[in-house]
Each structure stands twice: as structure tokens, then as C-alpha cells.
Amino acid sequence: MDATADDLVPDADLDALTFAGLDLSGRDAAGARFLECDLTDCRADGLRLDHARLLDTTWTRVQAGDVRAAGSAWRDVTLTDVRLGALGTSAAELVRVRVVGGKVDYLDLRGATVDDLRLERVTLGDLDLSGASVRKLVVVDCDVRRLDTSDARLRDVDLRGARLSGAVDGVGGLAGATISSDQLLDLAPLLAAHLGLRVR
């Protein structure tokens, strides 16, 4: 069923709706429930999804400067070729989420709970995992300008497919991650500083 921008209101119950080619900028859908919905070729500047639940939902070629989704829940969601300035999912829960292609300048996962997130062929400005609990994360063929793992709890995290630009904060939080030997060499100065090692 085709939807309109007016369907996005706080606490809305949205089932099997298609949002296609719409301007959703400034809409407030805090607390809404999206079930089997599809957002395609939409503009979504300032879209509010705080505490919303997105289930079996897809985003395709969605563009936005800022999407706010603090405390939201994402389950079985795929984002394809999106272009987002900031995706603010702090304190959110992500389960079986895939981001394929596109660009996200700031992926905010501070304090989030992540269980199976796959990032594939995405250009990431900042990937902020500070304070996050991450059970499974796979990064495949992604450029990452900055990574923050301060106070993160990582398990079964594979970062070998991330091209890190060298800006890594909170290297102590990388415990539990798998990295490549080349990445280890790049991170060596940061690890030495974290451990208080003097290299001469």
C-alpha cells in the first residue's frame, strides 16, 4: 500500500507501507512501529525516529542530512545505497541489520546494543561504537575515516574489511575484535601509547 508523508506521526502503527519518492523531511515518527515497510528514493532531513521500532523494513536510496533515532529498535532491516549525514542511533538496539553501499558521514552507535550488523561497501566518516555492546559485526570493503571504540564491549567483531584512516579513539576497546596484520602495524603507535610503552 502506498503511503504519504502524513502517515508519519508519533506512535503510528505502519504495516506493509511503501514510501516512494516522498519528502519526509522534518517528520516526527517517534515511537512509531514500522513492519514490512519500504522507503525508496525519499528525502528525510531531520526525520525523527526516537524509540521507533523498525521490523523487516528496507531503506533504498534514502537521503538525509540527519536522522534522529535514539533508543530505537532495528530488526531485520536493510539499508541500501543510502546517503546520510548522520544516523543517530545512540542507545538503540540493532539485530540483523545490513548497510550495503552508499555513504554515512556519522554512524552514531554510542551505547547501542548490536547483535549482527553487516557493513558492506559503505563509506563511513565516523563509526562511533563508544560504550556499545556489540556481539557480531562484520565490515566488508568499507572506508572508515574515524573509529571510536572507547569503553566498547566487542565480541565476534571482524574489522579486517575496514580501511582505517588511522584515526582510532579508545583502542583499548578493540579487545575482542579481529584485525589484519596491516591494520595492526597502522595501530601500533596508538596501542603503544595506550599501554604506556616507550618505543626507541
- pLDDT, tens digit, 9 for 90 and up, residues 112-157: 999 999 999 999 999 999 999 999 999 999 999 999 999 999 999 9
How confident is the model at residue 194, as a pLDDT?
Answer: 62
Identify the weakest region by mean pLDDT among 21-30, 39-48, 131-140, 185-194. Answer: 185-194
User: Which residue has cell 511503501?
Assistant: 18
Q: Measuring CA to CA, which residue among 94, 30, 85 is closest to residue 57?
A: 94
**Total H helices, total E strands in the chain:** 1, 20
Write out the three cell numbers for 193.
601509547
* 199: pLDDT strictly greater than 80: no
* 106: pLDDT strictly greater than 70: yes
How confident is the model at residue 176, as a pLDDT?
Answer: 84
Contact between 38 and 14 under an 8 Å Cβ cutoff? The reply is: no
Q: How many CB atoms lie within 10 A of CB 6?
A: 8
Band of residue 41 on the pLDDT scale cut at 50, 70, 90: very high
Residue-range domain boundaries for the chain:
5-195
Average pLDDT in the chain: 93
CATH of range 5-195; options 2.160.20, 2.60.40, 1.10.3470, 3.10.350:
2.160.20
How confident is the model at residue 1, as a pLDDT?
Answer: 84
Q: Measuring CA to CA, which residue among 98, 27, 25, 90 is closest to residue 58?
A: 98
The DSSP letter of residue 90 is T
Instruction: Give the tens place of pLDDT for each residue, 146-190.
Output: 999 999 999 999 999 999 876 788 877 888 888 887 877 677 676
